[in-house]
Chain A
Amino acid sequence: MDVVISGLLLGGAYALVAMGLNLQYGVARIMNLANGEILILGGLAAFWAFVSFGLSPLLTLVIVAPLAFIGSWAMYKLLLRPLVRRAKTRGQLEVDSILATFGISFFLVGVMVSLRAEYFTYSFLATPVHLLGTTVAANRLVAALIAAAIGGALYLWLNRSRPGMAVRAVAVSPEAAGLVGINVDRVSAFAFALGGAVTALGGCLISTFVTLDASSGVLFTMKALIIVIMGGVGDIRGAIIAALILGLVETAVASIIDPGLTLVAAYAIFLAVLLFRPQGLFGQGNA
């Protein structure tokens, strides 16, 4: 039961991060390999605000979201959009955006290392809470609840609002969306920025119960990518379920076999997905 609860709570935070990446890859069609660094930046902001000003990470969320939105928007407009324009083929864009976002990722790690080379350790809501016959740290529970709230709001917005519909339309087919009068450029930039903001929020939340450091972003990028692929690109429901599965399996492997094997577990899942369901858990595309 311990494993199930803490696995689900961890999965909740992963789901939020994967949602951010999904917006970027599914809508703007840029595989953002600097996604994990945006997460860590969110975590660094939460840490810094808490240590320097005693600001609760829950308040930092409100500041981080717009900053990450603007930062991601600028990153798309200044660095990635030119690549989209220049690419002659989709394959070319894929390679260019992979290399460029790697560059951005390393650059951000470099910047963060110079800001803070040690672990971002701080203690927030580290009190035990009893839940369904087991004890969890309050920070994990709070983080998962807020992640669920943000994720739920995003889901409703995407499915119930007009701009949300435009975003989904671009995700399905940029060409067709353009034909019905949607400004594909603007929607893509917006989705990319929104994805960045959501990821940074995930970083704030995760930093309350996982000790991060400047270079741990790449692990989160990996996990988010595995979740997005497992859930099916652009499929939010699939991503949530995939995130919960990953959270559960990682927690189970860490507590039953060895904490050093969580990445191995993630890879085992990834491999199974690639071999048996490369179109995602609920995808029905033709192989």
Chain B
Amino acid sequence: MIPGETILEVRGLTKRFGGLIAVNDLSFDVREHEVMGVIGPNGSGKSTTINLISGALRATSGSVSLEGHDLTAVRPHETARLGISRTFQLVRILPALSVLENAVAGAVFGHKRRWGRKADVFATDLLERVGLADKVAVPVSALTYIDQKRLELARALAGEPEVLLLDEWLAGLNPSELQVGIDLISSLRAEGRTVILVEHVMDAIRSLCDRCVVMNSGKKIAEGTPAEVLSDPHVIEAYLGDA
């Protein structure tokens, strides 16, 4: 799908932890229907960026805005209601809830709200959509790793977010699961969803992202299509070592 208007704006975003600057003056735009990758070596500030956008952390300075709403000083539940959903780097399933309830959890309090039968039906559709149709009755403790990831994705989609944040969603999958995962995200892209993808897996970035931001030591060092940034000498240098 053709990217539309700018939907999310990040401007001069900075986060300090004591003396350490985890994210330093970061700016980028995300357009509607676009899959934006955020990549970079370990410790470059990618996850901190996701946590700043989703409201889990509060920025030291700079701003994030979604369709004109300033998200900078907004608490996580309000961010979710305004239309940003996320998954977690280490998958987080609600262990005492059923598979269906886990997905419903995303539908009841999020951006577009549903309750009762409507929420159940909507969540069931989403479970089917991510490939869990036959696991609805399985206890969550019996889910495989990729199924847990799928369930978390269904939960994030259930609020019909404007922007979906995937924090290393593909990490930890084995090679055959990885292809399944990439296909799943690629189908989200085909549906025209707006996604910010923090990722290590290069294949995924090449095949999934419309554009990428590359971070190193908290700063943006490149931005462009995957092909452009991956041939950028600064990026190669950042990945091969900070010589």
Q: Report the nearest B residue to A284, measured CB to CB.
A: B18
Please tell me if A286 contacts chain B, counting CB pairs below 8 Å: yes
User: Could you tell me the distance in whole angstroms from the C-beta of A279 to the nearest C-beta in chain B?
Assistant: 12
What residues on B are CB-neighbors of A286 within 8 Å?
17, 57-58
Which residues 264-287 of A sit at the B interface, judged by CB distance below 8 A?
284, 286
Tally of contact residues, B, Cβ under 8 A: 4
A interface secondary structure, majority: loop
Q: How far does the alpha carbon of A234 sit from the alpha carbon of B159 in the complex, in Å?
A: 41
For window 236-286 of chain A, which residues contact chain B by CB distance below 8 Å? 284, 286
**Nearest Cβ in chain A — how far from B15, in angstroms?**
9
Least Cβ–Cβ distance between B61 and chain A, in angstroms? 14
Given the complex of chains A and B, what is the CA–CA distance between A284 and B18 in angstroms? 7
- Of chain B, the residue at the smallest CB distance from A88 is B95
User: In the complex, what residues of A have CB within 8 A of residue B58's CB?
Assistant: 286
Query: Within the complex, what minimum Cβ distance (angstroms) separates B64 from chain A?
Result: 17
Which residue of chain A has the shortest Cβ distance to B16 in the bound complex?
Answer: A286
Interchain nearest-CB distance for A175 vs B (Å): 14
Complex alpha-carbon distance, A104 and B17, angstroms: 40
Q: Report Cα–Cα, A286/B58, bound state, in Å.
A: 9
How far, in Å, is B52 (CB) from chain A's closest CB? 12
Complex Cα–Cα for A286 and B17 (A): 8
Smallest CB gap from B60: residue in A:
A286
Distance to closest chain A CB from B148 (angstroms): 16
Q: A residues within 8 A CB of B57?
A: 286
Chain B residues with CB under 8 A of A284: 18
Which residues 11-35 of B sit at the A interface, judged by CB distance below 8 A? Answer: 17-18
Question: CA separation between A284 and B57, bound complex, in Å?
Answer: 15
CB distance from B109 to the nearest CB of A (A): 21
User: Could you tell me the distance between the alpha carbons of A123 and B18 in the complex, rounded to whole angstroms?
Assistant: 51
Interchain nearest-CB distance for B142 vs A (Å):
16
CB distance from A269 to the nearest CB of B (A): 26
- Give Cα A179–Cα B221 distance, bound, in whole angstroms: 34
Please encode chain A, from 27 to 57, with 1 for each CB lying within 8 Å of some chain B CB and 0 for all others. Answer: 0000000000000000000000000000000
Report how far A286 CA is from B22 CA in the complex, Å. 13
In the assembled complex, which residues on chain A have CB atoms less than 8 Å from the CB atom of B18? 284
Complex Cα–Cα for A140 and B57 (A)? 48
Give 1 or 0 for each of B56-89: 1 = CB within 8 Å of chain A CB: 0110000000000000000000000000000000
Q: How far is the CB of A4 from chain B (nearest CB, A)?
A: 35
Q: How far is the CA of A286 from the CA of B57 in the complex (A)?
A: 9
Mask, A185-221, CB within 8 Å of B = 1, is 0000000000000000000000000000000000000
Q: How far is the CB of B202 from chain A (nearest CB, A)?
A: 29
A90 to B119, CA, bound (A): 31
Q: How many angstroms between the C-alpha atoms of A102 and B118 in the bound complex?
A: 45
Residue in A closest to B95 when the chains form the complex, CB atoms: A88
Looking at the assembled complex, report how far the CB atom of A213 sits from the nearest CB atom of chain B, in whole angstroms: 43
Chain A residue nearest in CB terms to B17: A286
Nearest-Cβ distance from residue A280 to partner chain B, whole angstroms = 15
Per the 8 Å Cβ criterion, residues 39-68 of B in contact with A are 57-58
CB distance from A102 to the nearest CB of B (A): 24
Chain A contacts for B17, CB-based, 8 A = 286
| CB of A267 to closest CB in B, whole Å | 28
Question: Nearest Cβ distance between residue B34 and chain A, in whole angstroms?
Answer: 31
Binary B-proximity of A119-154 (CB < 8 A = 1, otherwise 0): 000000000000000000000000000000000000
Rounded to whole angstroms, the CA-CA distance of A286 and B15 in the bound complex is 11
Complex Cα–Cα for A229 and B220 (A): 39
Closest CB in chain B relative to A121 CB, distance in Å: 51
> How close is A206's CB to chain B, nearest CB, in angstroms?
38
Residues of chain B having any CB pair with chain A under 8 Å? 17-18, 57-58
4 A-B pairs in the complex with CB atoms less than 8 angstroms apart: A284-B18, A286-B17, A286-B57, A286-B58
Binding site for B on A (CB under 8 A): 284, 286
List of 4 A-B pairs having minimum Cβ-Cβ separation, nearest first: A284-B18, A286-B17, A286-B57, A286-B58
